[in-house]
């Protein structure tokens, strides 16, 4: 940006500040562009000034000023490839004044067919580029055949850079607001869906690995030790983090989450540490970062493996010293924050590839917790389906839905690459497509092949069995019942009582099932004892 021009034209500086401040208000990009053109009318002669924004290879007019501006101009659009001069201005990022010779060589008039302008009329094209983005072009036209002088071109080029910077600021503001809105809605959804049951579903798990995880999470929750939660996408890392917060002495203080993969890299430092007014374009007020928001409470750094390397050193210092400086400030801020981090990335591999600092890894992973994928704890499926169906009922009103034994076997036969998130989606889809209240094996449309295992699906009364071949020995009813009960007990790891227990899955009272097991000679299930139900 030519500083000498700024010195010769102090009005540009003031108007530029107004444009940037406008970009950070609620008035929107449309008002920003209109105000920008109003300013231009005071300093540069033209009969038509048009702002085009670039969208998928097309330039679409969004605002126009001047005696020649009309509805046709304001609705005009151009294919960028048809106008070499416009394309060149964007590629070189330099403003350009047209001469009569340019027109005579067939560069073309952007308003051909829209306005009746004389051949050789004066025209200027100004690119609107900031950072790595080009947002569009500004065109100026005069009916007179008189080329714009170079000092005027330089001045309008400065204005174009100012306007592009304001557009960039408006775009970044829109991104941040959308992400904040998504974070808020996501937090509300988690609270409404999970509430205080985040820890309940951990405690009710049958699998030894989840019981051990819950025990260890409760132990570390009582301290301020940093915790690194790892696991595949969809395993419930944020749910575990919220449970740790609720179990801690900080439960009454804020729980703040930042998804490091969802915020543009250029905005992450401000999101973490905040900024002061004037720190950068668009910073028209002081703003607290996530560290300050979480003061006294817990800060979850989700997808920590996606944090840019240049920010990792600043984060490490903040963790070690519990202090930081907001962007644009030389004042140190102290924050009492308990740090939890989560990632699906292999951080050891990221360290080897120089994408993650080893010292930061050791600072975060004082107490690592690994959430196992769903395929490693299939015995939890009965309890998980009950929990997820109950939570879906709060949103959909479809209460009383249950998964039959054959349905559970179908779910257990799948490897669940999307884990709990994919299971919840599968249950909701099956609930929508099922008219009754029972979800059978046929209710679930799951991929087959390498993601599925061969698991026998027990027959139930609502499923039509295959005909027996001729001469086959027909098993007795008692034998069929005994085999079916054993299959269900295997699925529930011997659990008879409670939600997700064998009695609930079979639709029997626990006392009735116990009596039938005794009659059929099922005194115990190998590998499990009655203590499992205690």
pLDDT at 347 over 90: yes
pLDDT at 26 over 60: no
Q: What is the mean pLDDT of residues 96-102?
A: 65
Under 8 Å between Cβ of 159 and 151: no
Predicted pLDDT at 475: 67
Predicted pLDDT at 527: 41
Of 51, 52, 156, 165, whose CA–CA distance to 94 is shortest? 156
Predicted pLDDT at 307: 92
pLDDT at 8 over 80: no
Distance of alpha carbon 505 from alpha carbon 491, whole angstroms: 10
Q: What is the mean pLDDT of residues 486-509?
A: 76
Other beta carbons within 10 angstroms of residue 218's beta carbon come to 16
Predicted pLDDT at 463: 43
Distance of alpha carbon 10 from alpha carbon 319, whole angstroms: 44
Most confident of 21-25, 149-153, 312-316: 312-316
pLDDT at 352 over 90: yes
To 5 degrees, how large is the angle CA 290–CA 295–CA 297?
A: 100
Of 424, 387, 367, 393, whose CA–CA distance to 206 is shortest? 387
For residue 157, the SS3 value is: helix
Mean pLDDT of the chain: 77
Helices 265-273 and 309-321 cross at an angle (nearest 10°) of: 10
pLDDT tens by residue, 445-454: 887 644 444 4
Predicted pLDDT at 521: 82
pLDDT at 202 over 70: no
Distance of alpha carbon 245 from alpha carbon 225, whole angstroms: 12
pLDDT at 223 over 70: yes
pLDDT band at 185 (very low <50, low <70, confident <90, very high): very low
Candidate from 182-191, 256-265, 445-454, 456-465 with smallest mean pLDDT: 456-465
pLDDT band at 216 (very low <50, low <70, confident <90, very high): very high
């Amino acid at each position: 940006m030519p500083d000498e021009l700024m010195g010769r034209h102090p009005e540009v500086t003031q108007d530029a500040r107004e444009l940037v401040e406008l970009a950070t208000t609620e008035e929107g990009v449309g008002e920003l562009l209109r105000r920008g053109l109003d300013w231009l009318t005071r300093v540069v002669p033209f009969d038509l000034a048009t702002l085009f924004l670039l969208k998928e290879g097309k330039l679409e007019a969004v605002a126009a000023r001047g005696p020649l501006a009309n509805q046709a101009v304001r609705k005009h659009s151009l294919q960028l490839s048809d106008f070499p001069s416009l394309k060149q201005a964007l590629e070189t990022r330099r403003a350009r004044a047209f001469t009569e010779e340019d027109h005579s060589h067939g560069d073309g008039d952007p308003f051909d067919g829209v306005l009746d302008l004389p051949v050789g009329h004066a025209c200027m094209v100004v690119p609107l580029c900031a950072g790595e983005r080009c947002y569009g072009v500004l065109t100026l036209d005069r009916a007179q055949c008189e080329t714009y002088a170079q000092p005027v071109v330089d001045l309008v080029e400065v204005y174009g850079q100012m306007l592009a910077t304001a557009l960039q600021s408006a775009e970044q503001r829109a991104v941040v607001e959308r992400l904040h809105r998504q974070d808020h809605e996501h937090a509300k959804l988690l609270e409404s869906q999970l509430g205080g049951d985040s820890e309940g579903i951990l405690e009710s798990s049958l699998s030894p690995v989840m019981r051990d995880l819950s025990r260890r999470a409760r132990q570390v929750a009582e301290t301020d030790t940093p915790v690194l939660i790892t696991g595949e996408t969809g395993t419930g890392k944020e749910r575990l983090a919220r449970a740790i917060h609720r179990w801690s002495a900080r439960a009454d203080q804020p729980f703040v989450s930042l998804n490091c993969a969802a915020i543009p890299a250029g905005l992450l430092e401000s999101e973490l540490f905040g900024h002061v007014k004037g720190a950068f374009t668009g910073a028209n007020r002081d703003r607290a970062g996530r560290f300050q928001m979480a003061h006294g409470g817990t800060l979850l750094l989700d997808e920590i493996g996606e944090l840019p390397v240049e920010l990792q050193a600043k984060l490490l210092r903040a963790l070690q010293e519990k202090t930081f400086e907001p962007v644009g400030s030389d004042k140190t801020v102290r924050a009492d924050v308990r740090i939890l981090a989560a990632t699906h990335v292999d951080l050891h591999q990221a360290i080897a590839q120089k994408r993650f600092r080893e010292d930061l890894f050791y600072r975060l992973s004082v107490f690592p917790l690994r959430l196992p994928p769903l395929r490693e704890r299939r015995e939890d499926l009965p309890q998980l389906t009950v929990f997820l169906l109950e939570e879906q009922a709060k949103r959909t009103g479809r209460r009383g839905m249950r998964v039959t034994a054959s349905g559970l076997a179908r779910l257990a036969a799948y490897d669940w690459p999307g884990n709990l998130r994919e299971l919840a989606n599968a249950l909701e889809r099956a609930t929508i497509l099922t008219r009754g209240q029972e979800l059978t094996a046929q209710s679930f449309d799951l991929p087959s092949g390498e993601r599925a295992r061969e698991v026998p699906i027990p027959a139930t009364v609502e499923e039509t069995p295959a005909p027996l071949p001729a001469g086959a020995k027909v098993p007795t009813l008692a034998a069929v019942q005994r085999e079916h009960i054993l299959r269900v007990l295997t699925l529930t790891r011997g659990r008879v009582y409670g939600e997700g227990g064998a009695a609930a899955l079979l639709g029997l009272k626990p006392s009735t099932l116990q009596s039938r097991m005794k009659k059929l000679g099922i005194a115990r299930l190998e590998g499990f004892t009655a203590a499992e139900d205690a």
